[in-house]
Amino acid sequence: MSKSNDELMMETMYWWGIPTLFRCPHQTDPSKCNIALAGVPHSTGNGTTERDQHLGPRAVRHVSSGLRRVHLDFNFNPWEKKVIHDLGDVPLPEANNNEKCIEDITDYYANIANLKKPVVSIGGDHSITGGILQGLGTNNLDFTKGQKISFLHIDAHIDTYNQLDHFLGAKKSAAHWGSYLVKDGIIDASSSMQIGIRGNPRSLDWLKPSYDLGYNVVTMQEFQKRGIEDVINETLSTLGDNPIYITFDLDSLDAAVAPAVSNLEPSFTGFTIDEAKLLIQSVKNKNVIGGDVVCLMPTKDSPNNITAMVAASIMFEIISVIAF
């Protein structure tokens, strides 16, 4: 039975009712949905003073019902096409212990992987991607039918700094996940893309760690010279038919679009929201098994919660390419 106009209006009012991700039912059992949503309130993997990313899931729940919309570009309603539930947040009882938190995140997502459910997450700092993919890659990558996972990694930073033993104390940190996932055989770097890398680096060999691992890197300057159509063509050819995981760092967006993020790179223009959407939408017919949005800093957001809303809109795009 179709919903009334009053019901449609009320379910997209962020200030009404109990906040869940996109007003989806809260159901902790992943077996009861087609697509799972989860929050990962973790911020001790960043290794800097920018530690408020653990507030990201709550901030996005606050505003995301306003993004419970139909998808005009795809001409469909993801909420009607698939059963989508908010599982809640990953329990992290030792929140200040990064290594233990990564273990807890891994265990949580291993349960989702055992049920072979695609999952879209909101963080949290970027170290969560390591824990998530360790979980989804459990049992010899059974979730992906024995295949390694390919990354569509959209970010201002490579996060493969394996020349560092730790990042200010955190070992499986926001600076390391892109490296150890390759070394541990979970990610296939040769069929993965890192797009949007920018900023004045600390050293001139700033991209070497990713190149050494085999990643395909497109810096922001290269993206601007080549154009989005050419980069998308390379992306689709590189990802192929592999299981794909999208990880989206909000700092890849221009600072004017997403000001409340950790590790801002204001010296170089970042992605517009239209460019970011097109990059994600390009994989709509691919085998996308999940994704995450990371590095939201709610305590630095504007009063209208613009960065939280942008985070929700990126989540909506990832959900939609899975549901399509």
What confidence tens digit (pLDDT) does each residue in 197-228 have? 999 887 888 899 999 999 999 999 999 999 99
Query: What is the average pLDDT value for the chain, to the nearest integer?
Result: 93
Under a CB-based contact definition with an 8 Å cutoff, are residues 219 and 207 in contact? yes
Closest CA to 238 of 137, 151, 144: 151
pLDDT tens column, 16-26: 888 999 999 99
Task: Note the pLDDT of residue 77.
Answer: 96
The percent of residues in the chain predicted with pLDDT above 70, rounded, is 96
Radius of gyration of the chain (CA): 18
Task: Note the pLDDT of residue 313.
Answer: 98
The mean pLDDT of 17-46, rounded to a whole number, is 95
Q: Which band of pLDDT confidence, cut at 50, 70 and 90, is reported for residue 49?
A: low
The percent of residues in the chain predicted with pLDDT above 90, rounded, is 80
Under a CB-based contact definition with an 8 Å cutoff, are residues 88 and 28 in contact? yes
Among 57-66, 137-146, 214-223, 288-297, which is the least confidently predicted range? 137-146
Q: Other CB atoms closer than 10 Å to residue 234's CB: what's the count?
A: 14
Q: Is residue 160 predicted with pLDDT exceeding 90?
A: yes
- Architecture (CATH level 2) of domain 5-323: 3-Layer(aba) Sandwich (3.40)
How many residues does this entry show for the chain?
324
Closest CA to 132 of 194, 64, 39, 60: 39
pLDDT top residue among 142 and 317 = 317
pLDDT tens column, 300-311: 999 999 999 999
Q: Which band of pLDDT confidence, cut at 50, 70 and 90, is reported for residue 5?
A: confident
Task: Note the pLDDT of residue 168.
Answer: 66
pLDDT tens column, 110-141: 999 999 999 999 999 999 999 999 999 876 56
Task: Note the pLDDT of residue 47.
Answer: 67
Measured over the CA atoms of residue 99, residue 251, residue 198 and residue 288, the dihedral's sign is positive
Task: Note the pLDDT of residue 257.
Answer: 96
Q: Which band of pLDDT confidence, cut at 50, 70 and 90, is reported for residue 161?
A: confident
Under a CB-based contact definition with an 8 Å cutoff, are residues 297 and 258 in contact? no
Q: CA 161, CA 243: separation in Å to the nearest integer?
A: 24
Strands 35-40 and 193-197: unpaired
pLDDT tens column, 241-275: 999 999 999 999 999 999 999 889 998 999 999 99
Task: Note the pLDDT of residue 251.
Answer: 96
Helix runs in 98-201, H state only:
98-114, 128-136, 138-141, 177-183
Report residue 145: phi and psi, to 5°. 55, 40
Q: Is residue 84 predicted with pLDDT exceeding 60?
A: yes
Under a CB-based contact definition with an 8 Å cutoff, are residues 292 and 122 in contact? yes
Q: Is residue 61 predicted with pLDDT exceeding 70?
A: yes
- How many Å separate Cα 146 from the centre of its chain? 23
**The whole model's pTM is what?**
0.94
Q: CA 287, CA 303: separation in Å to the nearest integer?
A: 38
Q: Other CB atoms closer than 10 Å to residue 146's CB: what's the count?
A: 8
Closest CA to 223 of 256, 198, 191, 248: 198
Task: Note the pLDDT of residue 129.
Answer: 97
Mapped onto helix, strand or coil, the DSSP state of residue 248 is: strand
Q: Token digits for 116? A: 């072979």
Closest CA to 311 of 75, 21, 84: 21
The mean pLDDT of 13-17, rounded to a whole number, is 81
Q: Is residue 7 predicted with pLDDT exceeding 60?
A: yes
Report residue 104: phi and psi, to 5°. -65, -40
Q: CA 84, CA 166: separation in Å to the nearest integer?
A: 37
Task: Note the pLDDT of residue 164.
Answer: 72
Q: Is the peptide bond before 124 cis (omega within 30 degrees of 0)?
A: yes
Under a CB-based contact definition with an 8 Å cutoff, are residues 287 and 242 in contact? yes
Q: Is residue 239 predicted with pLDDT exceeding 70?
A: yes
Task: Note the pLDDT of residue 140.
Answer: 57
